[in-house]
Chain A
Amino acid sequence: MTERPAAAHEHDRALVKRCLEGQGDAFGELIDRHHKPLFNVALRMLNNVQDAEDVTQTVLLNAFVKLRTYDPRYKFFSWIYRMTVNESLNTLKRRKPTVTLEPRLHMRAPVAASDSAAELQDRVGKALMCLKPDDRAVVVLKHFVSFSYQEIADVLEIPVRTVKSRLFTARERLRDALREGER
């Protein structure tokens, strides 16, 4: 499995350092670098564009406020993705049961997408929601951010063997959910 380039970690660390030294524009660059994958993690966790936007905004604003608590010995992305997963899980807990009248609206890509692409988004989104949130987090980090087992373990603060166990179980459930969706 390909690890994320070390240069990217160093760049993140340098930007955090600059930000803590008072160069506020460095945080703007951190936002540029991470807002899209963070949004996509939240989107796959929640299957709702508006909730994903809210989570991404909350996480990035909290990251700015709490930047001094970030320990540079660890990877910045582990810190910020952990916040995103946790905030997504909190949003799921707060979410009241609702009856969805038009489920496809939730997963419509904000950019123009072909019908088949929108259908695929819808199908996969629904299947992901069949997983337990903790298992879903592992699948999302593995398949939508291309993290290694170790990186997922760092983000979720769980052992690698737990990552594997959750991922393997989740994939098989996902297979079954996708089959169900085809019927």
Chain B
Amino acid sequence: MLNRQQIELIHQEMDGVNAPAERAAFRSLIEKDSEARALEADLRNVTQLLDRVGSIDPPRHMTEAILNALPQQVRARSRWEALGAPLKAIVDGFQKRPRFALVSSLCVGLVAGFVAYAALAGTVLIDHPDTSGLRGTLFERRAADELETVHDVTIDVDRVSGRVGVQIAQNIVFVELELDVEHAMEVRLTFDEGAYGLLGFSQLRSEAGPYFTAEPGLIRVTTSGANTHTFVLNHEGPVSPLALSLFENGEEVFATTLSARGLDQGG
């Protein structure tokens, strides 16, 4: 029959806490006593079984429920957790190596900037809600007092009212078209492709004229309701007249030639 001290020795051996002297006593006991060997084997089976069970992952909704019950400031952590282990590992790495994090951030920023530039460099459709005091587009504009008005025509025909103005500053030409049309119409601006290039286009209400095409010597824009369209052209050397026309269902309803002083000199 094992005494209390011997039983403790066997249990402590299972837990790996026996001191060297106790371990020697344990070995001696196991060698001599079959009951001790049987208990040791039983306990080893029990501990191995418990170790095999392992831990269970709690349901995901449990932590969400806890975090939802806590103030907002604490809940921010749940989004962090949702990012997953890989991203957390990266960020932990950054926190441990701030210099590496700084260099990496700069690189990512540069790449993101390049991508954004590549994606947006060709964009010319720009909304500018307030055009007072400025003419042109976000990319190409001048203060009103820098511009010389060379053409200003009022449009007042059936189902169309408005005005078309042309202003120039050095080699930049701004064509501003204010329209109020009853039905959707197509605006065509025709020009000598050898003399002009299109720098930009903008309109006050983007939803009113979503269709825009530009090809050598011709720009087409659809317009409806009240809207203001601005075309910005540049010219090299001698200039030539521009032609503006409005079409409704393929039928021309208005046309004018923008050939005032400054545009047709030497043209």
Q: Do A and B interact? A: yes
Q: Which of B18-61 contact A (CB under 8 A)?
A: 42-43, 45-47, 49-53, 55-59
Is B63 touching A35 in the complex (CB atoms < 8 A)?
yes
CA distance A37 to B51 in the complex (A): 14
**Shortest beta-carbon distance, A68 to chain B, in Å?**
15
Interface size in chain A (residues, C-beta < 8 A)? 43
Is B67 touching A31 in the complex (CB atoms < 8 A)?
yes
If over half of A's interface residues share one DSSP class (helix, strand or loop), that class is named, otherwise mixed; here it is helix
Is A168 touching B7 in the complex (CB atoms < 8 A)?
yes
A132 within 8 A of B: no
CA distance A56 to B67 in the complex (A): 12
Q: Mark B52-81, 1 if CB is under 8 A from A, else 0.
A: 110111110011011101111111111011
CA distance A49 to B57 in the complex (A): 11
Contact of B50 among A57, A143, A149 (CB under 8 A): A143
Counting from the closest, the 3 A-B pairs by CB-CB distance are A28-B77, A24-B73, A39-B58
B17 within 8 A of A: yes
- Segment touching A, from B8-16, B136-144, B157-165: B8-16
Chain A residues positioned under 8 Å from B65 (CB to CB): 57
Is B74 touching A27 in the complex (CB atoms < 8 A)?
yes
By beta carbon, the residue of chain B nearest A108 is: B56
Is B62 touching A39 in the complex (CB atoms < 8 A)?
yes
Is A144 touching B55 in the complex (CB atoms < 8 A)?
yes
By beta carbon, the residue of chain B nearest A111 is: B57
CA distance A105 to B98 in the complex (A): 49
CA distance A40 to B53 in the complex (A): 11
